Amino acid sequence: MTLKRILSRIGALIINAFVMLLSLSSIFPIVWLIYSSLKTEREFALNIAALPAHPTFENYINAIKTAKMHIYFFNSLFTTVVSVILIVLFSFVVGYFFARYRFTGRNLLYTMFLAGMLIPIHALLVPMFVEFKVLGLLDKRITLILPYVGLGLPMAIFLMENFIKDIPHEIEEAAYIDGATLTTTLFRIILPICKPIISTVVILSSLSSWNEFSFALVLIKSDALKTLPVGLTNFTSQYTVKYTQLMAAITIAILPVIVVYLIFNKKVIQGLVAGAVKG
């Protein structure tokens, strides 16, 4: 009995140690990156693993001064915010009409939108580049918003439609009897009910816009309009690589995401999983 207990104690210890090791290895690279960004290049070269003895923000100042990280940051923020607002608005309206009405062309539109989830985005990259080039849409402030909204729609519409389907019809009937127009019903009554699914759509689309790389790489050429992920690749090609400065630049790119995740982690996890599994 006691031997068995000792053995199961040891087993439990091994299991816990194993999972703890795995957990630590999932964040260690990020932690290493962040604390190394607070070292000087010389201190980092001396011992790459040690904690910074005299933490300094010099790298951050340089990342902003020489690599213009603040411009990329603003571009990412602008693109993400505008894209997310439009995705929420469009997907809510389209999702509502899909959920509530059968109209001519509904099934065609429905299939068209949902098929979008199956298309590998790289199949669109070349033709979109050409299309944009012909129409003079490359390298503009709205350039990236166009694909981000379009590509974000299928999943968002699907989630919205699923959610609105389950809202009882009586709500709209009552509103109609009270004399509400469709627009009032839509935005004053249905929209607030959809809050939970809207927050899921916001999470999904802001993460994918903030993190998007391929379209930003191909459609944007001028430094003033680049987003963070592309700005980072700039960093390694344009300047002699100062590792700690690169680390500071990466930290600038990931810190907002990490902070939001740490605050809303349950919601973020739910949102991402709902998006993936339902899609």
User: Which residues in the 3-42 window bind other proteins by CB under 8 A?
Assistant: 11-12, 15-16, 19-20, 22-27, 29-30, 32-33
Binds other proteins (CB under 8 A): choice among 63, 128, 159, 220: 128
Cα gap 55→36, rounded to integer Å: 9
Longest dimension (CA), the chain: 79
Residue closer to other proteins (CB basis): 62 or 214: 214
Cα gap 68→59, rounded to integer Å: 12
Told to check if 60 binds other proteins by CB under 8 A, we report: no
Q: Which stretch binds other proteins (CB under 8 A): 51-59, 60-68, 193-201, 204-212?
A: 204-212
Q: Are 257 and 210 in contact (CB under 8 A)?
A: yes
Total number of residues that touch other proteins (CB under 8 A): 89
Helix (H, G, I), strand (E, B) or coil at 254: helix
Helix (H, G, I), strand (E, B) or coil at 71: helix
Told to check if 93 binds other proteins by CB under 8 A, we report: yes
147-148-151-154 Cα dihedral, nearest 10 degrees? -140
Residue closer to other proteins (CB basis): 124 or 191: 124
Binds other proteins (CB under 8 A): choice among 51, 142, 224, 276: 276
Binds other proteins (CB under 8 A): choice among 63, 84, 149, 159: 149
Residue closer to other proteins (CB basis): 168 or 192: 168
Amino acid (one-letter) located at 236? T
Q: Which residues inside 162-201 make contact with other proteins, applying CB under 8 A? A: 169, 172-173, 176, 182
Binds other proteins (CB under 8 A): choice among 130, 142, 174, 224: 130
φ and ψ at residue 122, rounded to 5 degrees: -70, -15
Cα gap 20→31, rounded to integer Å: 15
Cα gap 231→57, rounded to integer Å: 20
φ and ψ at residue 138, rounded to 5 degrees: -75, 150
Q: Which residues inside 98-117 make contact with other proteins, applying CB under 8 A? A: 100-104, 109, 112-113, 116
CB of 82 to other proteins, least distance (A): 13
Q: Which residues inside 66-85 make contact with other proteins, applying CB under 8 A? A: none
Q: Which stretch binds other proteins (CB under 8 A): 56-64, 66-74, 194-202, 241-249?
A: 241-249
Told to check if 278 binds other proteins by CB under 8 A, we report: yes
Helix (H, G, I), strand (E, B) or coil at 202: helix
Q: Are 52 and 43 in contact (CB under 8 A)?
A: yes
